[in-house]
């Protein structure tokens, strides 16, 4: 690998903190790469709650998570960082003069790292019942996401879950699937109130079946596809068997630092311990956002922005000790080519 492929800063995690870090790396004129395990940028905003409104990001009184992610991607990639998706970073090794990151897409070399891995690689929760694992591994009609609603056209679909995704997809697949049944282990749904009202209205019209409090006992397959689900009532234990042609478990994601825990980083409360400069215990390795811990830490998007700026500016100073840590104000930076006349309101 040539020196040209060694980036100044590699950001592990393309959520809001990582995207803001990429913006700052560009602003400081250093080469940058963002690596994420998921097939898309945006972190939790896109993976967990794209349709929810966020009210506590400065300057944006109310914005959908997916719109904030879109804006952040535009801002974070404007200086052309390399973006490597579907590449969970599995190893981090300090080598002579650089750091080596091992990913399923090959090794990546970098001078510094900013870890903005949030809650880890966001692995979807699955059903822990007989039949799930075999059918899931064989891709036989059981899913943890709805990628393409059309995939479910004309099928009897069982959705499992009580949050926004489960309720939203019960609404979204109605009219596409032949039959939609939603089961949840509690009687109350945790989803947006308006969505639950819509669900109940469709249930009253017989367009969606809603069964609570129910859980899946087992799944059965026939000729390479899931064909039946046995569910049980959580209070009475009574079983029911449903004929199904697809099962989607929409149970959220497991917070799990995964391989990050094996890189020799000092951890506290399942998070990376950092100094006020967002330094970890490994030289050249910084961290920011939900993945870090320090006294008084708040897990908020707004907090991640500040930490990303501190981490990247200190990484720049680490690479070149003559470079100042303070970036200056964006209003005055040549990189944005702002017309000074406009700035002065002339």
Ligand X SMILES: Cc1cc2nc3c(=O)[nH]c(=O)nc-3n(C[C@H](O)[C@H](O)[C@H](O)COP(=O)(O)OP(=O)(O)OC[C@H]3O[C@@H](n4cnc5c(N)ncnc54)[C@H](O)[C@@H]3O)c2cc1C
Looking at beta carbons, which residue is closest to ligand X?
118
Name residue 35's beta-bridge partners.
12, 84
**Interface with ligand X includes 141 (CB under 6 A)?**
no
Exactly one of 8, 9, 11, 13 binds ligand X (CB under 6 A); which one? Answer: 13
Exactly one of 172, 221, 259, 306 binds ligand X (CB under 6 A); which one? Answer: 259
Q: Where are the beta strands (DSSP E) in 104-234?
A: 106-115, 123-124, 142-143, 156-160, 179-183, 209-211, 214-222, 225-233
Question: How far, in Å, are 14, 22, 303 from residue 331 at the CA level?
Answer: 25, 18, 22
**Interface with ligand X includes 309 (CB under 6 A)?**
no
The footprint of ligand X on this chain (CB under 6 A) covers a number of residues equal to: 38
CA–CA dist 204, 28 (Å, integer): 58
**Interface with ligand X includes 50 (CB under 6 A)?**
no
Exactly one of 43, 81, 131, 141 binds ligand X (CB under 6 A); which one? Answer: 43
How near is the Cβ of 2 to ligand X at its closest, in Å? 24
DSSP state of 15: S
Choices 31-39, 171-179, 197-205, 232-240; region in contact with ligand X by CB under 6 A: 31-39
Residue located via tokens 């590449």: 87
Please answer whether residues 126 and 249 qualify as being in contact, where contact means their C-beta atoms are separated by less than 8 angstroms.
Answer: yes
How near is the Cβ of 51 to ligand X at its closest, in Å? 10
**Interface with ligand X includes 208 (CB under 6 A)?**
no
Name residue 113's beta-bridge partners.
10, 285
Q: Which of 117/216 has CB closer to ligand X?
A: 117
How near is the Cβ of 152 to ligand X at its closest, in Å? 24
CA–CA dist 139, 214 (Å, integer): 24
Report 89-128 residues binding ligand X (CB under 6 A).
89, 116-122
**Interface with ligand X includes 198 (CB under 6 A)?**
no
First-residue to last-residue Cα distance in the chain: 51
Exactly one of 208, 260, 274, 285 binds ligand X (CB under 6 A); which one? Answer: 260
Encode 49-59: b = buried (16+ Cβ within 10 Å), e = exposed. bbeeebeebee
Please answer whether residues 156 and 245 qualify as being in contact, where contact means their C-beta atoms are separated by less than 8 angstroms.
Answer: yes
Letters for 64-93 (x = contact with ligand X by CB under 6 A, - = none) are ------------------------xx----
DSSP state of 234: T
How near is the Cβ of 21 to ligand X at its closest, in Å? 9
Binding footprint of ligand X on the chain (CB under 6 A): 12-18, 35-38, 43-45, 48-49, 52, 54, 56, 88-89, 116-122, 258-260, 289-290, 299-302, 304
């Amino acid at each position: 690998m040539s020196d040209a492929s060694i980036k100044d800063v590699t950001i592990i995690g393309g959520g809001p903190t990582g995207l803001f870090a990429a913006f700052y790396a560009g602003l400081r004129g250093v080469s940058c790469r963002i690596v994420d395990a998921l097939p898309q940028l945006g972190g939790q905003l896109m993976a967990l709650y794209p349709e929810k409104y966020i009210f506590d990001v400065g300057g944006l009184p109310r914005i959908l998570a997916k719109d904030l992610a879109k804006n952040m991607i535009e801002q974070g990639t404007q200086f052309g960082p390399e973006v490597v998706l579907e590449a969970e970073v599995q190893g981090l090794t300090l080598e002579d003069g650089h750091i080596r990151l091992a990913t399923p897409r090959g090794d990546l070399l970098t001078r510094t790292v900013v870890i903005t891995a949030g809650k880890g690689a966001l692995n979807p929760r699955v059903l822990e019942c007989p039949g799930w694992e075999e059918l899931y591994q064989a891709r036989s009609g059981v899913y943890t996401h709805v990628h393409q609603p059309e995939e479910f056209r004309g099928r009897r679909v069982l959705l499992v879950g009580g949050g926004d995704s489960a309720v939203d997809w019960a609404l979204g697949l109605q009219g596409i699937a032949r039959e939609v049944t939603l089961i949840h282990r509690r009687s109350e749904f945790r989803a947006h109130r308006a969505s639950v009202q819509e669900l109940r209205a469709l249930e009253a019209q017989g367009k969606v079946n809603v069964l609570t409090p129910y859980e899946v006992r087992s799944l059965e397959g026939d000729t390479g596809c899931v064909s039946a689900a046995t569910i049980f009532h959580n209070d009475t234990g009574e079983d029911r068997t449903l004929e199904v042609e697809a099962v989607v478990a929409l149970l959220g994601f497991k917070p799990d630092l995964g391989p990050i825990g094996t890189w020799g980083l000092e951890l506290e409360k399942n998070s990376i311990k950092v100094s006020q400069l967002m330094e970890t215990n490994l030289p050249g390795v910084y961290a920011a956002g939900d993945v870090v811990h320090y006294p008084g830490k708040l897990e908020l998007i707004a907090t991640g922005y500040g930490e990303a700026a501190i981490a990247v500016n200190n990484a720049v100073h680490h690479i070149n000790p003559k470079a100042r840590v303070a970036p200056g104000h964006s209003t005055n930076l040549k990189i944005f080519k702002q017309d000074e006349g406009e700035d002065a309101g002339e």
